[in-house]
Amino acid sequence: MSDLRDYPPQPWIHQADCTDAPPGPLALRATAIRELYPYGRPHHCFDRPTVTYNRECVAEPWSESDPEPHRYSESTIQPPDAVRPLCEVCRGTHGELAPSVAWPVRIPGAAWPR
């Protein structure tokens, strides 16, 4: 069995023409976005939780202000190498402090987009 790891908060996935999408990122096909961010959070600009394969999408990295600090809330999504199920809010694992500390919390060794 592989080592279990913590997951940083996952990015919002937008349709390329979404008015809330961040300016500047390269639009990629949904299949490429899915490969890069398999647990990315679909933005409300999608009319359903699934994404068609040929739709152009952009990923908006997690920022320290998105969303408000929150406590870990267990979801039903657990990657095979995750230490615990992903959080319903941010789809991260909240590190070792999951039950007791509100986010944003930095996970040691995890990339933190700016």
The 10s digit of each residue's pLDDT in 36-47 is 888 888 888 876
The Cα–Cα gap between 18 and 59 comes to: 11
Q: Give the domain ranges of the chain.
A: 12-98
Task: Supply the pTM of this predicted model.
Answer: 0.68
Could you identify the residue written with the tokens 């899915």?
Answer: 34
φ/ψ (deg, to 5) at 20: -90, -5
Length of the chain, please? 114
The 10s digit of each residue's pLDDT in 40-74 is 888 888 765 555 667 888 888 876 546 567 788 89
The Cα–Cα gap between 70 and 67 comes to: 8
